[in-house]
Amino acid sequence: MAGLAEGTVLVEGAVRSGAMNTAHWTTNLHRPVLALPGPVTSVASAGVHQLIRLGEASMVTNAPEILNDLIGRPAATAARSAQVDESYAPSPARHTPAPLGAAAPSTRWAPGR
């Protein structure tokens, strides 16, 4: 999930939870982790509070704050996309069928081919 988005917003997450795992993957991908704090008495909010306390997540309380945190990163996003190496991408394969009655090309391996 962390790799599919520009950032991750945690609404709830215990200290040992899938939400915390996603937050750590988001950090490893150098994307922002945003946290919406819940009740201090809730075990389900303990992980979110821990991320905020340790400075690993920015606290947000509404949608405009989330958008501001994500929109404020276009330079980082542009720099990251400039580093993408697309040399591995194959060229499009185009197959032209042989005319009817023509011999099919050999598919056997031969030295020097």
Average pLDDT rounded to a whole number, residues 90-112? 60
- What tens digit of pLDDT does each residue of 64-87 get? 988 888 887 655 555 555 555 555
Residue-by-residue DSSP string for 40-99? TT-GGGHHHHHHHHTTSSEE--SHHHHHHHHHT-HHHHHHHHHT---TTPPPPP---PPP
Kind of pairing, strands 8-10 and 33-35? parallel
Predicted pLDDT at 40: 87
Q: What was the pLDDT predicted at 69?
A: 86
- Name the band, by pLDDT with cuts 50, 70 and 90, for residue 101: low
Question: Does pLDDT of 110 surpass 70?
Answer: no
The pLDDT value recorded for residue 87 is 53
Q: Are 25 and 2 in contact (CB under 8 A)?
A: yes
pLDDT tens digit sequence for 20-77: 888 888 888 888 899 998 888 888 889 999 999 999 899 999 989 888 888 876 555 5
